[in-house]
Amino acid sequence: MISENCSIDEFVEAVKDKDSWEVLTLAVDEATWADRMAHRTVRCNLTQNPCGIQYSRHLKQLINYLRFEVKPKRPRDKAYRLYSMYWGNPDRQLCSA
């Protein structure tokens, strides 16, 4: 697990120097782990959820931005801001004129 505190900021800080494909692979593994922990906690009826659904949701949003490079409906989204800060290229044009 990369982020011990289940924080998307901590995850991005740890992987920001890696290329986007490596980040994608690590994010998929981290999201899978976070989902398993969240469901295990719910199933066991523990009062504290060490890795919440929100962390998994942020990771999945980051994964979608890395895979498809699309701008979301809400560009102020935290995962999108982190993506565009480290891996996104806002000036990229898909078609040349």
Residue 94, phi then psi, degrees to nearest 5? -75, -35
64: left (phi over 0), alpha (psi -120 to 50) or beta: alpha
Best mean pLDDT range from 30-34, 68-72, 82-86: 30-34
Q: Is pLDDT of 26 > 90? A: yes
Q: Is pLDDT of 10 > 70? A: yes
Give the pLDDT band of residue 32 (cuts 50, 70, 90). very high
What mean pLDDT is predicted for residues 24-48? Answer: 77
Give the pLDDT band of residue 63 (cuts 50, 70, 90). very high
Strand blocks (E) in the chain: none
What mean pLDDT is predicted for residues 61-87? Answer: 82
pTM of the model: 0.75
